[in-house]
Amino acid sequence: MIKSMKPCGLALGALLLAAAPLGLSAAELPEKPAGFGVRPLTMIVPFGAGGGSDQLARSMAKAMEEVAGLNFQVVNKPGGGGTAAIPDFMLSPGDGYTVMEHIDNAISAYAKGDIKENPAEDWTPLCMTQITFSQIYIRGDEDRFTDWNSFLEYAKENPGQASMANLGKVGSMELVVMSQLQNALGVKVKQIAFDKPAERYGALIGGHVDVLFEQPGDVRTFLDSGAMKPILTFLDERPGVFADTPTHKEVGADFDALTRFRGFYVKSDVPRDRMEYLAAACEAGFKTEGFQAFNEKKYMNLINSYRDTEGSVTLINDAVDTYRAVYKELGIGK
Amino acid sequence: MVEFIGGTLTLFGDPTAVMLFGLGLIGGMLFGAIPGVNMLTLGAVLLPFTINMEAPHAVMLFSVIYCSGVFGGAITAILFNIPGAPENAPTCFDGYPMTVKGQSGKAIGAAVSCSAIGGVASAVVMMAATPLIAGWAVRAFGPQEIFALIFFGLAVSASVGAETLWKGWLSVFAGLIIATIGTDPVGGVPRFNEGSVLGMEFSSYYLSAGIHFIPMILGFFAVSEVFTQAMSIAEGNRKRPKANLEFPSLAEFWAVRFTMLRSMFLGFFAGILPGIGATLAAFLGYSQAVRWSKTPERFGKGELAGVVASETANNSATGAAMIPLLALGLPGGALTAMIMGIFQIHGMEPGPLIFINSSDLVWITFAAMFWANLCIVFLGWLQTKTVVHILNVPFRWLAPGILLLATIGAYALRNLMVDVWVMFLAGAIGFFLRRTGYSAAGIVLGLILGKLGESAFAKSMQLMDYDFLGFFSRPIAAFLIIAAVLTIVSSIWNEIRGRELQKALID
């Protein structure tokens, strides 16, 4: 039934093609709006220090300082899966001095009705700087199954036994993608909710679960050391690095898989010239050598990881539509 | 052994390394000791600079910060009831009452020595058996075992600091209920963040972040202490705690040898397991010290063993946390995740191969952690002789400073104002709680163990298809749960019999 859904999600094929023309030429910055940027800006990170969002925010803050001379104070406000930071962001004056990093969690939370702020309307996305796809991983030394087909066989032979370490948040990108896959293939994999990444990885390596759902950048060290290996990629076409791993479409699941994306926002009442200046600074920051090296380490160079304001709004609105449609199918949300 | 000596020689033979070692040691201790900033703050600030350092230097620096940072927070916990970092929270329970009794020197002395002993011991085990232990621990300890371990800790929480066992349990249950506020750890469902009280509607994104135990501790212990002291000044019967420079005697250390060993062991386990770490280590170490003590009623009122238990456990967790990081590439907490980041920046992969490919890095790190822990003894001794004199400052000048530090500490935790409100609310509640015989420490234990326990329980149940008996098919989990139940039953039995005995004696 989900198969019949209008493919309003993220056209990843187009996205792959779009990756090519993005050169690394130095971007032109518009003139700094009068009176702006004279004191340090605040960058709110709705997750804890040291995590993926924090690393991205600090890396982008450094890149924007390099290209535009803007100083950022990074402030972590973790809690509630990224929700707790929102009121402080909304209360900040609309003068462009407060920027918030956020991830696609905010989009699914809005689609579900957990938050009332629309990330594409109440906030203005400056840019998306990390867009990535998900994969399913097994232990490197797993002998019960070695690839997707043998895992599928194992799951069918042991109904209700095969288990997957995943995030548990109802309606999260992770669970939506997995329920689409399971519906399409008619297989059932037990989803075990682990809230901390370290526990998820430990659960797979320690043998407490059979497979893991994750994005490649987060488990890159495990992939490089051979402790984990991918058996399925949620993308339309195989990216070069994972040429041996089949995509979900190849194994017979015909849906457009949702992606994980991280980007930067200001409130929508920020003056237009300041917003555009920040957006241009973000684009220029994205193209710096330092930031490119950072993204490459995180496997964020496999598909086009950049969207400007307009592209981000499209990305967000498409994602909201997809989430709402899936929620309707699954009967969750308000 | 040869490798260890080699690592030590490399460390101290290289001027840059020695300088970084010293900076890390002092920086970690300072950042650990000042509430509001902690070793993570220092780590986040330093992380970008590690790009230009050699990989062994950078990893060594962070592991030294880890060792001394976990210790640093003990000082303010003992002197002012303000834990410098979450890992030191249970040190407040007995450390501050000791200060009030005029034994501040003893408490700090014990914290210093035990941090060093715990740290050195875990560094030794780490050197001896990292690849071996790491693989075993992640396989043997799944969510079921972690839940059982937390349940075991919860079983004795009721005996901490309450007048009767019943008041103790009520305190713990209050903590467990507070733990349910916020986003649930499984489905991400917000709980108690909106609703109505007396017809007044409320809805708060802040509350979806949940109630953190640090502002609760700051409120219960630091803020309410300021109120209490202020009241006794107003009544004219306050005695200033004497600044005391006395170190604990060898006999006193000998008396707590089992507590120390037990905490070392618990701290070690908590450190190895991904996502658990030094904070739970300290709490478990503390609650088990109460469990096995012959005089559990003295805990929470200035028992040396309480300080020993918590400080030994949190520092032995540091060495242990390096084991899964180095051997499996699994960081257990935020600081080890930063070390992981350093590895990535330098294009290295933690994992079994690191012992072969980068053995110089591994051994310089091991040696640095070993020596850092030994240096804590000396630095701590210096601190004992100096910092304690702050107590000679009149309280009317000290009180605003304590309130200020506590407020900063509560806010800086997550940069959320809700934590400051929770702190002041807990301060007011704590002020009255002291007169009722209920236990603030019990509430805090319930809160932290409740949060971690719920998450582990939910995972276990999902894995076992919601069959509770599944716990008993796993030997370690079964043993811990049965032991916990026996502990609860026997404590209730003792309480009832004790009451009846008292009654009989009165009659």
Beta bridge partners of residue A260, listed in sequence order: A132
CA distance B438 to B164: 8
Predicted confidence band of residue A5 (pLDDT cuts 50, 70, 90): very low
Is the Cβ of B210 closer than 8 Å to some Cβ of chain A? yes
CA distance B326 to B355: 8
- The distance of B163 to chain A (nearest Cα, Å) reads 35
What does CATH list as the number for A12-19+36-132+259-330?
A: 3.40.190.150
Is the Cβ of B356 closer than 8 Å to some Cβ of chain A? no
| Residue A80, pLDDT score | 85
Average pLDDT over residues B177-189: 89
User: Could B187 and A227 be called an inter-chain contact, meaning their C-beta atoms sit closer than 8 Å?
Assistant: no
Helix (H) or strand (E) holding B491: helix B475-506
User: Could B344 and A83 be called an inter-chain contact, meaning their C-beta atoms sit closer than 8 Å?
Assistant: no
User: Could A202 and B330 be called an inter-chain contact, meaning their C-beta atoms sit closer than 8 Å?
Assistant: yes
User: Could A190 and B463 be called an inter-chain contact, meaning their C-beta atoms sit closer than 8 Å?
Assistant: yes
Contact A139, A164 (CB under 8 A): no
| Residue A333, pLDDT score | 64
Average pLDDT over residues B189-216: 85
B351 contact partners, CB below 8 Å, separation of at least 6: A221, A222, A225, A227, B327, B328, B329
Q: Is the pLDDT of residue A51 over 80?
A: no
Predicted confidence band of residue B502 (pLDDT cuts 50, 70, 90): low
User: Could B415 and A77 be called an inter-chain contact, meaning their C-beta atoms sit closer than 8 Å?
Assistant: yes
Domain range summary for chain A, segments of one domain joined by +: 12-19+36-132+259-330, 135-242
Contact B95, B87 (CB under 8 A): no
Nearest-Cα residue of chain A relative to residue B137: A206
Alpha helix ranges (H) inside B346-414: 354-357, 359-387, 395-414
Q: Is the pLDDT of residue B359 over 90?
A: no
Predicted confidence band of residue A131 (pLDDT cuts 50, 70, 90): very high
Q: Which domain holds residue B384?
A: 2-506
Helix (H) or strand (E) holding A164: strand A163-166
Give the pLDDT confidence of A157-202 residue by residue, as tens digits.
Answer: 988 889 999 987 888 999 999 999 999 998 999 999 887 787 888 8
Lowest mean pLDDT among A330-334, B89-93, B286-290: A330-334
| Residue B159, pLDDT score | 72
Nearest partner of B113 among B248, B268, B243, B303, judged by Cα: B248
User: Could A225 and B416 be called an inter-chain contact, meaning their C-beta atoms sit closer than 8 Å?
Assistant: no
User: Pick from B189, B190, B414: which is nearest to A77 by CB?
Assistant: B414
User: Could B463 and A196 be called an inter-chain contact, meaning their C-beta atoms sit closer than 8 Å?
Assistant: no
User: Does A135-242 match A12-19+36-132+259-330 at the fold level?
Assistant: yes
| Residue B308, pLDDT score | 94
Q: What is the mean pLDDT of chain B?
A: 84
CA distance B506 to B251: 38
What is the number of domains present in chain B?
1
Residues in chain B with CB shorter than 8 Å from the CB of A75 are 415
User: Could B334 and A50 be called an inter-chain contact, meaning their C-beta atoms sit closer than 8 Å?
Assistant: yes
Locate A186 and state its tokens. Answer: 């008619």
Q: Is the pLDDT of residue A22 over 70?
A: no
Average pLDDT over residues A200-224: 90
- Structure-model confidence comparison of residues A150 and B36, the more confident one: A150
Percent above pLDDT 70 for chain B:
93
Nearest-Cα residue of chain A relative to residue B414: A77
Chain A contact probe: residue of B52, B138, B280 with most A CBs at under 10 A:
B138
Contact B327, B362 (CB under 8 A): no
Residues in chain B with CB shorter than 8 Å from the CB of A170 are 187-189
CA B281 to mean position of chain CA atoms: 6
Q: Is the pLDDT of residue A20 over 80?
A: no
**Locus of tokens 């303010």:** B76
Q: Is the pLDDT of residue B38 over 90?
A: no
Query: B283 burial class (0-12, 13-18, 19+ CB within 10 angstroms)?
Result: buried
Nearest partner of B270 among B285, B259, B257, judged by Cα: B285
Predicted confidence band of residue B2 (pLDDT cuts 50, 70, 90): confident
User: Could A209 and B337 be called an inter-chain contact, meaning their C-beta atoms sit closer than 8 Å?
Assistant: no
Q: How far is CA B157 from CA A271, B154, B165, B173, B273, in A?
A: 55, 5, 10, 10, 22
Give the pLDDT confidence of B424-446 residue by residue, as tens digits.
Answer: 999 999 999 888 888 888 898 88
Residues in chain B with CB shorter than 8 Å from the CB of A168 are 185-188, 458
Q: Is the pLDDT of residue A6 over 60?
A: no
CA distance A140 to A222: 9
Residues in chain B with CB shorter than 8 Å from the CB of A72 are none
| Residue A216, pLDDT score | 94
Q: How far is CA B404 from CA B215, B223, B299, B424, in A?
A: 13, 10, 28, 12
Q: Is the pLDDT of residue B44 over 90?
A: no
Residues in chain B with CB shorter than 8 Å from the CB of A81 are 183, 188, 208
Q: Is the pLDDT of residue A292 over 90?
A: yes
Entry pTM: 0.81
| Residue A65, pLDDT score | 93
Q: Is the pLDDT of residue B507 over 60?
A: no
CA distance B2 to B5: 5
CB pairs under 8 A, 24+ apart, for A139-145? Answer: A139/A204, A139/A205, A139/A207, A139/A227, A139/A228, A139/A229, A140/A226, A140/A227, A140/A228, A140/A229, A144/A210, A145/A231
Predicted confidence band of residue A15 (pLDDT cuts 50, 70, 90): very low
Query: B279 burial class (0-12, 13-18, 19+ CB within 10 angstroms)?
Result: buried
Locate B221 and state its tokens. Answer: 């212990």
| Residue B382, pLDDT score | 77
Locate B162 and state its tokens. Answer: 């309450």
Residues in chain A with CB shorter than 8 Å from the CB of B215 are none
Q: Which amino acid is at B337?
A: A
| Residue B7, pLDDT score | 82
User: Could B189 and A170 be called an inter-chain contact, meaning their C-beta atoms sit closer than 8 Å?
Assistant: yes
Give the pLDDT confidence of B54-78 residue by residue, as tens digits.
Answer: 888 898 899 899 888 888 888 888 8
Q: What is the mean pLDDT of chain A?
A: 88
Q: Is the pLDDT of residue B9 over 70?
A: yes
Q: Candidates 3.30.499.10, 3.65.10.10, 3.40.190.10, 1.10.3720.10; correct CATH number of A135-242? A: 3.40.190.10
Give the pLDDT confidence of B237-283 residue by residue, as tens digits.
Answer: 777 777 677 778 888 889 899 999 999 998 988 888 766 678 888 88
Predicted confidence band of residue A265 (pLDDT cuts 50, 70, 90): very high
User: Could B344 and A297 be called an inter-chain contact, meaning their C-beta atoms sit closer than 8 Å?
Assistant: yes
Task: Count CA atoms within 13 Å of residue B367 on its CB side.
Answer: 24
Is the Cβ of B138 closer than 8 Å to some Cβ of chain A? yes
User: Could B416 and A224 be called an inter-chain contact, meaning their C-beta atoms sit closer than 8 Å?
Assistant: no
CA distance A288 to A67: 8
Give the pLDDT confidence of B270-284 residue by residue, as tens digits.
Answer: 888 766 678 888 888
Average pLDDT over residues B328-332: 72
Predicted confidence band of residue A105 (pLDDT cuts 50, 70, 90): very high
Is the Cβ of B190 closer than 8 Å to some Cβ of chain A? yes
SS (HEC) of A276-290: HHHHHHHHHHHCCHH
CA distance A135 to B58: 32
Locate A114 and state its tokens. Answer: 């957990």
User: Pick from A76, A191, A201: which is nearest to B330 by CB?
Assistant: A201
Give the pLDDT confidence of B104-158 residue by residue, as tens digits.
Answer: 888 988 998 899 999 999 888 888 877 677 777 778 888 898 898 888 888 877 8
CA distance B104 to B265: 27
User: Could B459 and A169 be called an inter-chain contact, meaning their C-beta atoms sit closer than 8 Å?
Assistant: no
Average pLDDT over residues A252-278: 94
